[in-house]
Structure 1
Amino acid sequence: MKQKRSLSQVVFRFLPEQTVDLAGAVWRVDKWVSPRTLQVDVDVVRSELLRAIYRYTATGRDGGLGDRLRRQDPIHVITPNDEDGTGVSVVPFPENYRCARCGRIETGNGRTCQCGSNSWRQLQFVAYHQCGKLDTPWIPRCNEHKQVRVDYPGTTRTEDLHFECPICRTEVARGFRFLRCDCRNGTLSYNVHRAAVVYTPHSTVIVNPPSQNIAIKFKSEAAVRQTLGWLLNGMVEEDPLAGRPTVDSLVADLVAKNIPEETARKMAELAASEEPNTISADDPLKGVDLGPTERQQAEEAALRLAYATAGGRWRITDLAAGAPPEAQVRYQRLYPTAVARARLEAVELLDDFPVLNAVYGYTRGGDSADSVLRPFPSGGGAIRVHGQLAHTEGLLFRLDPMQVGRWLHARGLLPTVPATPTDVRLAVLRESQIPRPGEELDSPTFGSGVTILVHSYAHRVLRRISALCGIDRDSLSEYLIPLHLAFIVYASTRGDFVLGGLQALFEHDLDKALNDIVEGEHRCPLDPGCAKHGGACVACLHVGEPSCRFFNGFLDRDVLFGSTGYFVV
């Protein structure tokens, strides 16, 4: 039997150990057959996975994935092979079948029922446990006749199932038995196979270098230093390594050509000494005082932003440069005014945003704290991640650092307002410990405050621009870079995705969108209850969980519109 499904359907709905409905029957996905290995930046993937699984690692329920990531086990990111006809291997599951005529239950459908019928249908119920176990439910039989039947009650409540003998009509059981799991940590649960508690995939979004050449270009320590300096100075140049050549940019270029970094630095320093007017010997991070941990986090976040913009970035000034006279008013007056009103440093169009949707495992039992994360099995000791690499469009929003400084001071997080944008950025880098998705904090911190600001702004944008760009809200997603006061709203490749919708918004209606974000209705229909209990709910700030990697946490309307809100101070 062969069935065809789209690449996105396979990546999100046909994962190993997941049950699926196909051709009128239920199947369990065994594996992806001959998948393709994606070319990704493994270091970036490793770092993002460690962040994504934190809530399981912290409780010792990550299935050993955290230890494997930290000891540098190889990572293979695979995607379905849609070129040679191979795809997904499935096996029939569960193995309980019910006769459509008399209701008898057998563990196979290859024989004629005692009532004479050959019409068998699978029971939709499965047995599962939070340890990851999945099994066919055991159903007892009549002691005398060794048979059993069941009538469907019309609900999915397993306790409503009435099992009886088809011969003597003796009741055999009501519902399924409470059997101890093999892990000896509780009893099995039962539900219909497609219920979310039976299988919950866990994924993260990773910005991947658009090409191997780009990845190589940013691999050297010099390139990373140059990139962080570029961000601290406001991303003025088109590219982190563009502009007047520096020693670090030359080192990065030479390392990308397979020259050892130590040799490359000697060559670059010699060139700078011989051509001081052409090559700058200035340190891009001169005066930047960050501790080792803060420096590493800042550099990793800077690389993510560099990868995001490597495919090309369009600024408002780029639109104005090639616009007809009738559009000049929009780009030179209306747009800059709206950007300033929205307390933004810039809004830019990313027309080739390289995003990897990476699924790294699953849980059974829903999102319960007792559920164990199960990484996908793989051979050879490698960590296997299932994913889809897409190139889509996105809008980069960069918050005005001086307004962030005023907001931090008004909220009591900074004693004074820093003097320059660079000083604000450095203060955020020094003081912020960005919480991880799913992390619960005992008390607010500087880092959680910055995260709530950036995250709440991103959700406000997601909820307000969907109508203007013609893209369903659930087809828009966020990518947060709170350490550098930025976020990206991009069109995901699932759902009703309209290519060019964000570009059209950027070119024609950006001022309307930004004005609506600031001035549009911000009260919640569920106030005052919502305002008293977190200031964020499904009616005002929440979005669909596939669009939000923080599970709709770290949100609050008050940080935007309160008495000391970002749009107010």
Structure 2
Amino acid sequence: MNDPKKRKDARRALRSDGQLRQSQLVSTFGPGAMVDLVDRAVVIGGLEHWSYGAKGYVALDDPRLRRSLIPRLKALDPDLDLAREGYFRMAPEGDARNHHPSVGVRALEFPRWFVCQKCRRLARASEQFENKSGRYRHECAKNKWSSVVPVRFVAACKRGHLSDFPWIPFAHLGREGVCDRPELYLEERAIGDIARILVHCKNCDATTPMSKATVLPYNCNGDRPWLGGRAASEPCDQRSELLVRTASHAYFGQVVSALRLPDPEPDPLRQRLRDKDVWKAVQKVKTAEQLSMIAGLMEHVASAIGEAPAEKVLAAIRAENEATTATSERPLRSAEYDRLVHAPTEQPGAVPDRGVQFAAYRVPKPRIELPPGVGGLVVVPELREVRVQVSFSRFDSIGANLQGEYEFAGRKVKPTVLTLPTGNEKWLPAAEVRGEGVFVELDEKALSDWEKRDAVKERTKQLERAFGLDKRGEFPGIRFFLLHSLSHLLLTAVSLECGYAASAIRERIYCGQAEVDGPNMAAVMLTTGTTGSEGTLGGLVEEGRRIQHHLREAWDLGRLCSNDPVCAAHDPSSESSDRRTEGAACHGCLYIAECSCEWFNRFLDRALVVPTIGNDPELAFFRERP
């Protein structure tokens, strides 16, 4: 007979330890991120630990984004590469009602040190505590058991490596050697001051306050537990630093996104050759004889080729191979900007075809009111955006360039990878967002005249001085400050009436030179979307047609901040300033939810957009109310 208790234990063994949304595994909780569960803490496993089961993965391949990412991956590690197909994949989709160990993302227990909630005993879980039904507990006194929890302090370095905090040598810091039988306790006072947290060894009575952990005398050992423990360690020249597991700077994912742009004039023959089965058969064909033989043996290949001459088919195969293996590509934002500014004029009653990945229409100027300084409006009723995580860092975020791409080649300290470079996982985790957007283009002549104003030139020097003191990357230019600040003001104004919360709208800044010797980009796009299949309801596009109304609301929002005159008079270059990358900007006026901002609420100055208290009105691009 079947034992009911054994069946119950078997069901419990198959149960997953937690759930995350698929999109979260591409940013906030990607490989190498630490996650708190009910009774323990884990680190999300690398791509080797992602299992898709019999259903297989969902590919989100995008050749344009692949060609852009390959040289950046090579800059991280020469062994990193992407496969020819299936190189962008959605995270595994689990089933909450039918758990299976071969489907999902494996998480590894980390940290391995736990602390008793009653007696404060600090030790490795495997050495001191008992695991009962998946929970660790400690026998503080005879027949008196207490629960234990993961310790909240770990060690990490700026290259992203992660390891258990060196508790034993740290408890004996300043002493010669370590006692023969360390018995550690983590004593905490009621006050949250780190100086009141003590690591005490009862065996030798050594005590060290955690305040001394702000500067550790230990080198990083290069541990990468998300890739499989010490076997995946690598040499590291950085110092270990104290890190709180749940701190906001414990994980920064480098995510690159690109809009899905269909070919302007798709070649029907190349479209047919891209079929998975057809391409697998013809991708290595070089001669007409080889093509004829394969077409004679495989009916689906003959059907794809049709009556096309052999020379044309071979040329299409060569072109497709060159496009697939290319290692350089037009900058991501440049290609998008070009497609948006050359969007066809919107016709009355025009509706995008069902299932299209991208549809954009320029609204004719007679149909809308555009204030001075605004060059045009493009509505995007259908868009799909692919977001791909490339790497991650700890302690410091890494900013992308104005094209939304990461330049790893010139960095002294590079972020860490999601998979073993020498392994078999030649893909990256991705998510696809389906939604809509509004593209607002500024007038280039008005921008050039504004940049030549004396007040603007002086403000540029002030921001450049502050940027030099901050020593973080390159100065993005005064035009970017204007576009970014306008984007935040406009996003807040639109969110009040479009039906979407401000945190559900994202910005996309187009700034700088589109190509060498090409036109300058100067536009902002507000988008909203979801990773589900239902998309959006069209509210953002419809509100975009009332652009003048929303620009007026944005102008009113930026004129006065609740922290004025302190906010408006902020000088980022002063010695007392703690915000080197912002001018007149704070939580009362320009800061928005970080999920909506591409730049972590940096590079903002509303005085460049609208007149503000105590600043020269000549600074403002929109000096008069639109």
| TM-score tier (shorter) | 0.5 to 0.7
Q: What is the deviation of 1:400?
A: 2.9
CA distance in 2, matches of 1:155, 1:161: 9
Distance (whole Å) between structure 1 residues aligned to residue 69 and residue 340 of structure 2:
15
CA distance in 2, matches of 1:386, 1:464: 34
Q: Deviations over 1:326-352 (max 9, x none)?
A: xxxxx9999622x2x153232232122
CA contact (8 A) 1:209 1:215 kept: no
Aligned alpha-carbon RMSD (Å): 4.6
- Which of 240, 263, 268 is 1:188 aligned to? 240
Partner of 1:396: 439
The structural deviation recorded for 1:159 is 4.4
Give the match for residue 556 of structure 1. Answer: 605
More helix per residue: 1 or 2?
1
Tell me, yes or no, if structure 1 residue 529 matches structure 2 residue 569: yes
Letter in 1 for 2:585: C
* CA positional deviation for 1:488: 1.1
Structure 1 residue 367: Cα displacement: 3.5
- 1:514 maps to which residue? 551
Cα contact 1:309–1:353 (8 A) shared by 2: no
Larger deviation: 480-489 or 77-86? 77-86
1:15 to 27, 30, 33: 30
CA, structure 1 residues 126+28, in 2 after alignment: closer, same or farther (shift >3 Å)?
same
Which residue in the other structure is 2:253 paired with? 201
Q: What amino acid is aligned across from residue 478 of structure 1 in structure 2?
A: E
**For residues 40 and 238 of structure 2, what CA distance do their matches in structure 1 show?**
30
Instruction: Return the alpha-carbon distance in structure 2 between the equivalents of residues 171 and 219 of structure 1.
Output: 76
- 1:365 maps to what in 2? 395
**Please, which of 539, 542, 545 is the counterpart of residue 501 of structure 1?**
539
Q: Is the 8 A contact 1:364 1:372 kept in 2?
A: no
**Are the structure 2 counterparts of residues 450 and 118 from structure 1 closer, same or farther at C-alpha, using a change threshold of 3 Å?**
closer
Q: How far apart, in 1, do the equivalents of 2:240 and 2:619 lie? A: 51
Equivalence for 1:470? 499
**Residue 304 of structure 1: how far off its partner (Å):** 1.6
- What one-letter code is carried by the residue in structure 2 that aligns with 1:125? F
Structure 2 counterpart of 1:387, which letter? A
**Residue 148 of structure 1 corresponds to which residue in structure 2?**
184
Question: Given the two structures, how large is their TM-score scaled by the length of structure 1?
Answer: 0.65
What secondary structure sits across from 2:550 in the alignment?
A: helix
Verify the 8 A CA contact 1:377 1:384 in the aligned structure 2: no
Contact 1:94/1:123 (8 A) holds in 2: yes
Match for 2:474 among 437, 440, 459? 440
Aligned letter for 1:440?
A: E
Of 67, 86, 90, which aligns to 1:79?
90
Aligned to 2:277: none
8 Å Cα contact 2:42/2:110 also seen in 1? yes
Deviation at 1:449, TM superposition (A): 4.2
2:83–2:427 contact (8 Å) kept in structure 1 = no
Tell me if structure 2 keeps the 8 A contact 1:98–1:122: yes
Give the whole-Å Cα distance in 1 for the aligned partners of 2:455 and 2:198: 63
Aligned pair in 2 of structure 1 residues 536, 386: CA closer, same or farther (>3 Å)?
farther
| 1:454 counterpart (483, 488, 491) | 483
Q: Distance in 1 between matches of 2:454 and 2:77?
A: 36
Aligned-pair identity in percent equals 18
Counterparts of 1:532 and 1:162, CA distance in 2: 38
Change (3 A) 1:527 1:27: closer
What residue identity is the alignment partner of 1:101? K
Q: For 2:549 and 2:156, how far apart are their aligned partners in 1? A: 51
CA distance 1:66–1:449, shift in 2 (3 Å)? farther
Distance 1:476 1:398 in 2: 18
Amino acid corresponding to residue 362 of structure 1 in structure 2: F
2:385 is paired with a residue whose SS is: strand
Counterpart of 2:583 in structure 1: which amino acid? G
**CA deviation vs aligned residue, 1:344-385 (integer Å, no higher than 9, x gap):** 232232122211222211112234897531121145576643
Determine if the alignment matches structure 1 residue 130 to structure 2 residue 158. Answer: yes
Match of 1:374 among 402, 407, 416: 416
Q: 1:349 corresponds to which residue? A: 379
Structure 2 gaps of 5+ residues are 1-14, 132-137, 172-177, 222-234, 271-308, 320-328, 352-362, 399-410, 458-471, 515-520, 574-581, 611-616
CA distance in 2, matches of 1:153, 1:63: 49
1:470–1:498: 8 Å Cα contact kept in structure 2? Answer: no
Q: 1:149: Cα distance to partner?
A: 2.0
What one-letter code is carried by the residue in structure 1 that aligns with 2:152?
A: Q
Shift of 1:193: 0.8
Residue 559 of structure 2 aligns to a residue whose secondary structure is coil
User: Following the alignment from structure 2 to structure 1, what is the Cα–Cα distance between the partners of residues 433 and 498?
Assistant: 20
Rounded Cα–Cα distance in structure 1 between residues aligned with 2:597 and 2:79: 26
* Aligned position for 1:100: 117
Q: Whole-Å Cα distance in 2 between the matches of residues 122 and 309 of structure 1?
A: 53
The aligned residue for residue 489 of structure 1 is: 526
Determine which of 3, 25, 28 is the counterpart of 2:43. Answer: 28
What residue identity is the alignment partner of 1:360?
A: V
Structure 2 counterpart of 1:303: 335
Select between 196-205 and 554-563 the one with higher mean Cα deviation. 554-563
| 1:32-181 matched pairs, under 5 angstroms | 32=47, 33-34=50-51, 36=57, 38-47=59-68, 64-65=75-76, 76-82=87-93, 86-108=103-125, 109-110=129-130, 113=139, 115-116=141-142, 117=145, 119-140=147-168, 143=179, 146-154=182-190, 159-165=195-201, 170-175=205-210, 178-181=217-220
Residues 1:382 and 1:9: Cα distance change in structure 2 (over 3 Å): closer
| Cα distance, 1:398 vs structure 2 | 1.9
**Over residues 157-190 of structure 1, what are the superposed CA-to-partner deviations in whole Å (9 max), with x where a residue is unaligned?**
6543323345x68244333564232356453222
Partners of 2:45 and 2:82 in 1: how far apart? 27
In 2, distance between residues paired with 1:463 and 1:79? 31
Query: Quick one: structure 1 residues 93 and 146, their matched pair in 2 at CA, closer, same or farther if it must change by over 3 Å?
Result: same
Q: Report the AA paired with residue 485 of structure 1.
A: A
Q: Quote how far apart the aligned CAs of 1:258 are.
A: 5.9
Question: Does the 8 A contact of 2:374 with 2:442 survive in 1?
Answer: yes
Note closer, same or farther for the CA distance 1:559–1:170 as it changes in structure 2 (3 Å cut).
Answer: closer
Quote how far apart the aligned CAs of 1:263 are: 11
**1:403 partner amino acid:** A
Q: Deviations over 1:280-331 (max 9, x none)?
A: xxxxxxxxxxxxxxxx86x864532466699x9884x63799xxxxxxxxx9
Separation (CA, whole Å) in 2 of partners of 1:214 and 1:320: 19
Distance 1:138 1:95 in 2: 11
- 1:224 aligned partner: none
Matched, 1:260 2:315: yes
Answer whether contact 1:342 1:518 (CA < 8 A) is retained: no
Output one character per residue of 1:22-72: Cα deviation in whole Å (capped at 9) or x when no partner. Answer: 12321111135235363333333443787xx7xxxxxxxx99428678x99
2:625 is the alignment partner of 1:567: no
Name the aligned partner's letter for residue 529 of structure 1: A
TM-score, with structure 2 as normaliser: 0.59
Shift of 1:407: 3.6
User: What is the deviation of 1:216?
Assistant: 5.5
- Determine helix, strand or coil for the equivalent of 1:260: helix
Structure 1 segments unaligned to the other structure (5+ residues): 54-61, 221-253, 265-295, 322-330, 415-437
Q: 8 Å contact 2:558–2:606 — kept in the other structure? A: no
From the superposition, tell whether residues 65 and 505 of structure 1 become closer, same or farther in structure 2 (CA, over 3 Å).
same
Distance 2:569 2:584 in 1: 10
In structure 1, distance between residues paired with 2:218 and 2:74: 23
Deviations 1:197-229 (A, max 9, x none): 33222223322236xx77966999xxxxxxxxx
Whether the 8 Å CA contact 1:207–1:356 is kept in 2: the answer is: yes
Distance 2:366 2:188 in 1: 64
SS of residue paired to 2:429: strand
Are the aligned partners of 2:155 and 2:165 in contact in 1 as well (CA < 8 Å)? yes
